[in-house]
Amino acid sequence: ERTMQVFFEDSGRNIQHQLVNVGWIKISRGIDVFRSIKKKKIICSGTTLGGKIAMESYLRGMIQSFDETRCLKIGCDQGHHNYLIHTGRLQWNATETIPTTGISYSTIARNRTTRVQRIDYFAQGEGAVNTLSIFCNDRKPATL
């Protein structure tokens, strides 16, 4: 119920090495957030799986992140996606706030039963959800 599954875009590259992702994060969240997550792996926003509670929390987080930043650049969703996951915002307690803005995340994680408990990470095209690799131009799925 409270577990999400996310997929690395390219397990060999960090956010700082992919200029489009750098731009999305800097535009939507600023240089300080970028610096704090730039060495993290790029997580694809196109495929996110999970239980009911995890997905509701994730969607609340995405909506709130768009509302806060008003980022209109195409692809900003991936910036928000990586921001929420790599900063642990989906797993915060209800009383915590974002230090730089003072905005409370109580609408994302209202209490211990409505927040994401665990995030599992997978390389695209590997593991249980192998058919995801069909979306990558440079890979062919082993099974369909």
Q: What is the pLDDT along the chain (144 residues), one digit of tens a residue?
A: 788 888 888 767 899 999 999 999 998 899 999 999 999 999 988 889 899 988 988 998 899 888 888 888 888 899 999 999 999 888 754 334 444 444 444 444 445 556 788 888 877 766 555 444 445 555 444 443
Instruction: Give the pair of three-digit tokens for residue 47.
Output: 């495929």
pLDDT of residue 129: 53
Query: Which backbone phi and psi does 75 adopt, to 5 degrees?
Result: 100, -5
pLDDT of residue 23: 92
Q: Which of 75, 86, 100 has its CA nearest to residue 24?
A: 75
User: Is the CA virtual torsion 42, 45, 46, 52 positive or negative?
Assistant: positive
pLDDT of residue 22: 94
Query: Which backbone phi and psi does 121 adopt, to 5 degrees?
Result: -110, 135
pTM: 0.74
- What is the share, in percent, of the chain residues with pLDDT greater than 90? 28
Cα distance between residue 71 and residue 50, in whole Å: 26
